[in-house]
Structure 1
Amino acid sequence: MRRLVAGRRGRAWLTVVAGVGLCGIAASAGAVGTGASDPYVFAEGAQNVRGTQGGTGAPRLTTGETYRSSLGAGASATAHYRVALDGAANAYVSVVAVPPLGSGVKAASSDGVTVTLQDQGGNECDSQRATFRSGAYPRPVAAVVERLVKTGGLRCQSAGTYDVAVERVAESDSTGGTWGLELKVATEPGLVTPATSEDPRTSPSATVRPPSGAGTQRTGGTGFNDARALSEGVWKDRVGPGQSHFFRVPVDWGQQLSVDAELSSSAERSAHASGVSAAFDVRLYNPARAPVTAKDAVYEGDPASVTLDPLPPVAYENRYQSHEDRAAMRFAGWYYLEVTVNPAVAQKLGDKAPLVTLRVTVGGSAAQPPDYVRDAGDFQITEADRKAAENGAGGAVWEDLEVAQGGASGGSADEKGGHGAGDGSSGAGSADAGASSGAGSASSPSTSPGSAVMMVIGVAGIGTGTALLLWLAVWRVVAVRRVRVRN
């Protein structure tokens, strides 16, 4: 019996190891499939949740966690979630909408999502709408609703459970299908001494002279989680028609961010093609993922440039500004840039991905942070953040595959191989079959760092499985020969 058990254990071990090799093959195939169809890398460890059509039974979102969900069309175009807030900290609920991409996807500039935050009494605390804004083509957009605790506040000030409603807004002839959602709740601690709530009425300082020079190659990421870190300087990337590349810049208290962007010309452009409106779109988001400002430019084959509106230095009091873009410059942290090239630019460039040049200026010295009652979390800049910006953490590998199914080929980065995600990788599976951020219809491909790792494991698994099969074959031949010799 002991010999039999030992034999079974041995065979079981061989079966498991061989299985690992076969699983490696499957994992490799799966990783390739996922990497080629997922244009947005969700946060690593993002929890899957399914929003409800009404507030009853809605899933609860925890502060500091990131969640992955989906949003349908028609009757399923609204999803509700719950979040528990205390009565002391400011809260920000961000929603990133990830629509499917492709030439078969029809969209209007007014398409997007509306996010609303309500208290237990049904009082509206805040509402924000994020749309494609310029150009009738889809790309990731983000909206944020906030709950600010302030002296003399009349509503949404107490601790309790709040309702978060996400509603999809689309024209009647826009393409249906499921959109992916990424939700995150961040809180900003209160101050030891409450600040004044008066509008500071300050204006941005004098015009900033952007940095010059040839620039350094840094390939953008697919979203907020793998956005490429940039410091002050000149940076270059190739962004294919239909692609959105994300970057992030650390901006401390008292510092002022300025961004100039340029889309290059192409020697192979068609002289007969007309200009493309809203061809080059640049958006800026603050550390809470709230929109700050956005600009776009017409592209006629010659270089097109975008300069974001002047912004004030980061200050706590900016939140009381009457201008939304200035009010968004309210805390230190990572500021995100989304750079998108219209799929129609392929008419001008053929199969070439244009070169994008970013001139980033971070002016001023870091000032004393507000006197928070506790650690500021996402709303601060650490030494590790500064090193990440210098080293260029994050980024994705963009393959030379068709972009947006429009016949244009997405440009690969000049720095082959790219860098892995700095703080995010491919998220877990979607909440349902349609939550896969455009899987199957998305064709603005990116190979996520997670997929790359899985591919390595898969290749290793193939090698291990093959070696084991060969070893078993040799062992069988030797065993048969021994039996024949004995007989």
Structure 2
Amino acid sequence: MGRRRTTWGRARGWPGRRPCPPRYARVAVVAAVLCAATALPGGAALAAGVTPGSNSFGTPGSYAFDENARSVKGAAVTTEADRLDVATTYRSSLPQGSKLFYRLELDATSDVYVSVTAVPRAGTTVTPTDSLKVSVQDANGRSCSYDTATFGSRSPHPIAAWGEREAATSDSSCEGAGTYYVVVERVDRSGSSPDAWDLELVPVSEPRLRQTGATETEAPKGWNSASPTPLLSEAEDREGGGGFTGATSIGQGVWRDDLRPGQTLFYKVPVDWGQQLYATAELGSTSGDGSLVAAALDMSLYNPVRAQVDDVSLHYSGSQKAESIDPLPPVAYANRYASPSDPVSGMRFAGSYYLVVHLAEQMAEQFGDGPFGLTLRIRVSGAAEAEPGYAGKAEPPNLFDVTAQDQEAVIGGGSGVSGSGDAAMTVIAVGGIGAGTVLVAVLGVWTLVARRRAGAW
């Protein structure tokens, strides 16, 4: 049996504040702590050991959107397109067979990337070739970039495509400050549900280098492309997140999780300049009997701007199966000069790389509702190197850095609050400034309880 996943009342954000329980004559001190903590923003969830965006909110077929995302409506024509600002997350929707426009106002020096995640709504159907198309165009309708993502199976799940405007490029149409447009298109095949897909859009920027020509103008060659020796350490439990924003931090090691048919889990791995990432997914055996499920498990690798680098899928017939992402080069600025269709080009930034794992809905038809055991073997090799020499800061800040906080999250349990230890002390620890208020409330209740007990005895 796997761990039980908790689903809160609201699928797309935090539940509202919960009223504190009635004050009976004899009140448990821990209950007082939890009650006081729920008065803080996010307190009810923190008291339960849950953080915003964590997979504890998720159910098969759901996605944990960024709770701070702004709503934006895509336009059918460019003249009505709403503006997207970098370092801001947006939510929108994409009707069947539609093409929508969003506007960017860009400077002349920054590279800008826009990732679009499409999420079919619960109960909908898709075909393997249903697709999400994303491009960035200039004011004259010429494309700066173009990307397409498909589902690859009949199991609906989040997919992401991306667009980019590179300031220094051989295509002069995409150079210079001005107005650009993000074009998001949905292509459906016969058999798909007509329901709209929900969207999460994330535009970010990368500054130019301090010195022109500071790096090579072609992708490095001769890197180590051999598969490493598999890690053989004991697996550590780590629960995946429900979306990109709430992805759970993992690092080098062996990690175990459970997932159910139709569920998608998100993990992030800090990878610095000069380091190589290797990832293997293993789906454990089951005692049930069933037929072969094609593309039963899909694992996709996305880079820090949420652009897909590579993916693998495995077929499943009840016996344990494993698949690995093909070896990729060390992270380097010059990797961007590889062919856009080459996974090498995606390894162009340091930062958090995302592993997104989906278990097909069809697994339930053959092997039951699960949960099914998932093992991830992650290796990060090589010494960290200096950044390539940016002239400014990325937006959002630290997007292309591996920070001490990133490393601590890997060791400490990712984005979630540890379930071990004293729950009351955990609430106080994460309460920040509000912890003092909680402590005062606890001491007051403690005194009240002591006095009432004294009078009763």
Q: TM-score range by the shorter chain?
A: 0.7 to 0.9
Partner-residue secondary structure (3-state), 1:61: coil
Q: Does 1:274 align with 2:291?
A: yes
Residue 89 (structure 2) aligned to one of 57, 60, 66: 66
Deviation at 1:396, TM superposition (A): 10
Number of aligned residue pairs: 369
Deviation at 1:324, TM superposition (A): 2.1
Q: Quick one: distance in 1 between partners of 2:222 and 2:172?
A: 27
Q: Quick one: distance in 2 between partners of 1:335 and 1:234?
A: 17
Residue 301 (structure 1) aligned to one of 306, 312, 318: 318
Amino acid at match of 2:409: A
Query: Does the CA-based 8 Å contact 2:61-2:122 persist in structure 1?
Result: no
Deviation at 1:20, TM superposition (A): 10
- Structure 1 residues 38 and 238: CA distance shift in structure 2, 3 A: closer
Query: Does the CA-based 8 Å contact 1:220-1:396 persist in structure 2?
Result: no
Amino acid at match of 1:162: Y
Query: Does the CA-based 8 Å contact 2:259-2:370 persist in structure 1?
Result: no
Partner-residue secondary structure (3-state), 1:385: helix
Amino acid at match of 1:79: L
Provide the residue aligned with 1:453 in structure 2.
none
Residue 186 (structure 1) aligned to one of 183, 201, 204: 204
- Structure 1 residues 350 and 396: CA distance shift in structure 2, 3 A: farther
Q: Quick one: distance in 1 between partners of 2:130 and 2:193?
A: 10
Q: Which has the larger radius of gyration?
A: 1
Deviation at 1:67, TM superposition (A): 0.4
Q: Does 1:49 align with 2:72?
A: yes
Partner-residue secondary structure (3-state), 1:53: coil
Q: Quick one: distance in 2 between partners of 1:174 and 1:294?
A: 23
Residue 307 (structure 2) aligned to one of 268, 271, 290: 290
Provide the residue aligned with 2:120 in structure 1.
99
Partner-residue secondary structure (3-state), 1:167: strand
Partner-residue secondary structure (3-state), 2:125: coil
Query: Does the CA-based 8 Å contact 1:70-1:180 persist in structure 2?
Result: yes
Query: Equivalences for 1:18-417 in 2 at 5 Å?
Result: 39-74=62-97, 77-102=98-123, 105-133=124-152, 135-150=153-168, 152-195=170-213, 196-267=216-287, 269-270=288-289, 273-322=290-339, 324-376=342-394, 377=397, 378-394=399-415
User: After superposition, what is the alpha-carbon deviation per residue over 1:255-281, rounded to whole angstroms, capped at 9, x for unaligned?
Assistant: 0000011000012x11xx211110011
- Structure 1 residues 369 and 243: CA distance shift in structure 2, 3 A: same
Q: Quick one: distance in 2 between partners of 1:205 and 1:393?
A: 29
- Structure 1 residues 389 and 35: CA distance shift in structure 2, 3 A: closer
Query: Does the CA-based 8 Å contact 2:132-2:186 persist in structure 1?
Result: yes
Deviation at 1:343, TM superposition (A): 1.3
Amino acid at match of 1:52: A
Query: Does the CA-based 8 Å contact 2:60-2:261 persist in structure 1?
Result: no
Q: Quick one: distance in 1 between partners of 2:179 and 2:69?
A: 22
User: After superposition, what is the alpha-carbon deviation per residue over 1:63-85, rounded to whole angstroms, capped at 9, x for unaligned?
Assistant: 110001111114xx222110111
Q: Which moved more, 1:197-206 or 1:170-179?
A: 197-206
Provide the residue aligned with 1:400 in structure 2.
none
User: After superposition, what is the alpha-carbon deviation per residue over 1:288-341, rounded to whole angstroms, capped at 9, x for unaligned?
Assistant: 100000000110100011111110000000000125201100010000001111
Sequence identity of aligned pairs in percent?
41
- Structure 1 residues 184 and 300: CA distance shift in structure 2, 3 A: same
Partner-residue secondary structure (3-state), 2:172: coil
Provide the residue aligned with 2:430 in structure 1.
none
Query: Does the CA-based 8 Å contact 1:51-1:81 persist in structure 2?
Result: yes
Partner-residue secondary structure (3-state), 1:336: strand
- Structure 1 residues 110 and 416: CA distance shift in structure 2, 3 A: farther
Q: Which moved more, 1:199-208 or 1:277-286?
A: 199-208
Query: Does the CA-based 8 Å contact 1:132-1:139 persist in structure 2?
Result: yes
Q: Between the two structures, name the one with larger relative contact order (CA 8 Å, sep ≥ 6).
A: 1
User: After superposition, what is the alpha-carbon deviation per residue over 1:40-73, rounded to whole angstroms, capped at 9, x for unaligned?
Assistant: 1111311011111111211100011000111111
Query: Does the CA-based 8 Å contact 1:222-1:396 persist in structure 2?
Result: no
Query: Does the CA-based 8 Å contact 2:294-2:315 persist in structure 1?
Result: yes
Q: Quick one: distance in 2 between partners of 1:315 and 1:391?
A: 28
Q: Quick one: distance in 2 between partners of 1:326 and 1:232?
A: 21
Query: Does the CA-based 8 Å contact 2:133-2:147 persist in structure 1?
Result: yes
Deviation at 1:199, TM superposition (A): 3.6
Alpha-carbon RMSD across the aligned residues, in angstroms, is 2.7
Normalised TM-score (structure 1): 0.71
Q: Quick one: distance in 2 between partners of 1:202 and 1:293?
A: 20
Query: Does the CA-based 8 Å contact 1:116-1:124 persist in structure 2?
Result: yes
Deviation at 1:151, TM superposition (A): 5.8
Q: Quick one: distance in 1 between partners of 2:94 and 2:187?
A: 11
Amino acid at match of 2:238: R
Q: Which moved more, 1:307-316 or 1:338-347?
A: 338-347
Query: Does the CA-based 8 Å contact 1:221-1:396 persist in structure 2?
Result: no
Deviation at 1:202, TM superposition (A): 4.1
Q: Quick one: distance in 1 between partners of 2:59 and 2:156?
A: 18
Query: Does the CA-based 8 Å contact 1:318-1:330 persist in structure 2?
Result: yes
Q: Quick one: distance in 2 between partners of 1:329 and 1:19?
A: 48
Q: Quick one: distance in 2 between partners of 1:142 and 1:152?
A: 26
Deviation at 1:214, TM superposition (A): 2.5
Query: Does the CA-based 8 Å contact 1:64-1:185 persist in structure 2?
Result: yes
Q: Quick one: distance in 2 between partners of 1:212 and 1:359?
A: 9
Query: Does the CA-based 8 Å contact 1:226-1:396 persist in structure 2?
Result: no
Deviation at 1:209, TM superposition (A): 1.5
Deviation at 1:19, TM superposition (A): 10
Q: Quick one: distance in 1 between partners of 2:61 and 2:92?
A: 15
Q: Quick one: distance in 1 between partners of 2:310 and 2:408?
A: 26
User: After superposition, what is the alpha-carbon deviation per residue over 1:3-42, rounded to whole angstroms, capped at 9, x for unaligned?
Assistant: xxxxxxxxxxxxxxx9999xx9xx99xx9xx976981111
Query: Does the CA-based 8 Å contact 1:258-1:362 persist in structure 2?
Result: yes
